[in-house]
């Protein structure tokens, strides 16, 4: 903490060239283009239950933080960044650092290019604002900032995205498939998926060479080249929309879709996972306005009831250029026709550390922020204020 403000350490300018790959198909529906350098958390590969010494060793090696300044790591959020398409699980750790960290370059060898960016301290509130306007497009830092601030009892500054008005009336109870989040999470596990030799043909693997270039006297000069593999949908675009249904006036509820997915089954033995409703868009949807009309038609609402939840984000910028556009959908009539379980938002707020869908975490956290609700986790460990 510095002058009452939470400070966090992150990588600035880390190269993620896949985010600016030449489009194979439709471009981003919001018209954005990226330079390929992001602000993101310090990341590395350690065992799922690594000893604190292993985490300290990783931080010392990767970013040069002195080991005697590194405190005991505390578990943060655990989630699948994009469980419908990416076999990846992220375990976040909150690591207190007892000494200020000055800006310093990270060894270029960690990225394979001429730079791996810098290690810098950031104001946590500034990073949240940057995420909501699209300057911080990597979602991993944002969602864990929310979780850390909740543990420390630090409310976020006012939301700077589009204002969201809750529904004006409660739905007819007979038209509502209501549920408790605890009941959804406690259902018996299922494991219907089996390994298959033939590929599903949903994704395609692409291999490209990315060049790190500079300009010298008006002529380009290549500083480094690196070959990357990344994945794209075969028939759909790189644009995904998340549409979080919201209803209720006296008690706010959000609609969750229960899906059976092979990625959760691989990692936890249970294919069932509550998710935010999401769709990979067809290639003929080329603008945000068309995406909003698609959501409105799918959920049976007016386009004006489909409200953006801040800017789009990359769920896994090292694997795919997929970009996710989050929305909230205000429901005022019957929700009986929708295949969702509507759970109290207060229960979601109290159980963030039990949710595993990264899209649901981003959308729910932004929604609670926009509505002026303070997120709180059920398991609040004592993380020192210098984290």
For residues 81 and 90, the answer to whether their CB atoms sit within 8 Å is yes
pLDDT attached to residue 379: 43
- Calpha distance 386→358 (Å, rounded): 26
DSSP states along 219-253: EEEEEEEEEEEEEEESSS-SEEEEEEEEE-SSS-E
For residues 345 and 180, the answer to whether their CB atoms sit within 8 Å is no
pLDDT attached to residue 384: 41
| Angle, helices 139-152/358-370, rounded to nearest 10 degrees | 60
Beta bridge partners of 230: 206
Helix, strand, coil in percent for the chain, rounding step 5? 25, 30, 45
Please name the residue that has the structure tokens 């909003």: 292
Question: What six digits make up the tokens of 255?
Answer: 């609609």
Average pLDDT of the residues of the chain: 88
Which domains are present in the chain?
7-152 (3.90.79.10), 173-191+236-370 (3.90.79.10), 203-233 (no CATH)
pLDDT attached to residue 172: 76
Q: How many CA atoms lie within 13 A of 33 on its CB side?
A: 5
- Calpha distance 244→176 (Å, rounded): 16
Question: What six digits make up the tokens of 158?
Answer: 């006012």
Please name the residue that has the structure tokens 């931080």: 59
Question: What six digits make up the tokens of 344?
Answer: 């109290």
Give the model confidence (pLDDT) of 263-280 as tens digits.
Answer: 999 999 999 999 999 999
- Calpha distance 362→113 (Å, rounded): 30
Find, among 301, 144, 323, the residue nearest to 242 by Cα.
323
Q: How far apart are the first and last CA of the chain?
A: 8
Q: Is 136 left (phi over 0), alpha (psi -120 to 50) or beta?
A: beta
Q: pLDDT band for 378, please (50, 70, 90 cuts).
A: very low
Q: What is the bridge-based pairing of β-strands 239-247 and 323-330?
A: parallel
- Calpha distance 190→167 (Å, rounded): 35
pLDDT attached to residue 308: 96
pLDDT attached to residue 26: 67
- pLDDT, mean of residues 14-21: 89
- pLDDT, mean of residues 97-124: 88
DSSP state letter for 199: -
Question: What six digits make up the tokens of 314?
Answer: 């990359």
DSSP-derived 3-state class of residue 17: helix
- Calpha distance 86→110 (Å, rounded): 23
Give the model confidence (pLDDT) of 140-153 as tens digits.
Answer: 999 999 999 999 99
């Amino acid at each position: 903490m510095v002058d009452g403000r939470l400070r966090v350490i992150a990588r600035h300018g880390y190269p993620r060239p896949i985010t600016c790959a030449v489009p194979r198909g439709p471009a981003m529906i919001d018209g954005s283009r990226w330079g390929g350098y992001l602000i993101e958390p310090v990341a590395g590969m350690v065992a799922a239950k690594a000893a604190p010494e292993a985490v300290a060793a990783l931080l010392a090696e990767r970013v040069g933080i002195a080991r005697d300044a590194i405190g005991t790591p505390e578990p943060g959020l655990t989630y699948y960044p994009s469980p419908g398409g990416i076999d990846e699980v992220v375990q976040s750790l909150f690591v207190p650092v007892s000494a200020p960290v000055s800006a310093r370059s990270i060894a270029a060898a960690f990225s394979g290019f001429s730079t791996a960016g810098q290690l810098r301290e950031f104001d946590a509130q500034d990073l949240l604002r940057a995420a909501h306007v699209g300057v911080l497009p990597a979602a991993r830092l944002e969602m864990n900032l929310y979780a850390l601030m909740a543990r420390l009892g630090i409310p976020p500054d006012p939301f700077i995205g589009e204002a969201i008005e809750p529904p004006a009336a409660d739905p007819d109870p007979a038209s509502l498939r209501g549920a408790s989040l605890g009941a959804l999470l406690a259902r018996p596990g299922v494991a219907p998926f089996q390994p298959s030799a033939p590929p599903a043909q949903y994704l395609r693997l692409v291999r490209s060479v990315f060049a790190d270039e500079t300009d010298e006297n008006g002529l380009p000069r290549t500083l480094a080249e690196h070959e990357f593999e990344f994945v794209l949908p075969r028939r759909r675009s790189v644009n995904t929309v998340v549409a979080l249904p919201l209803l209720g006036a006296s008690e706010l509820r959000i609609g969750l879709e229960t899906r059976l997915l092979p990625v959760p089954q691989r990692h936890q033995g249970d294919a069932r996972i509550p998710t935010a409703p999401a769709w990979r868009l067809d290639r003929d949807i080329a603008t945000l306005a068309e995406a909003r009309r698609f959501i409105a038609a799918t959920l049976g609402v007016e386009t004006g009831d489909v409200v953006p939840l801040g800017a789009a984000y990359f769920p896994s910028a090292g694997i795919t250029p997929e970009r996710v556009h989050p929305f909230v959908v205000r429901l005022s009539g019957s929700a009986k026709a929708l295949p969702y379980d509507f759970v109290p938002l207060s229960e979601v707020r109290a159980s963030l550390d039990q949710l595993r869908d990264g899209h649901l975490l981003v959308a729910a956290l932004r929604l609670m922020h926009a509505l002026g609700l303070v997120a709180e986790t059920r398991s609040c460990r004592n993380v020192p204020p210098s984290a």
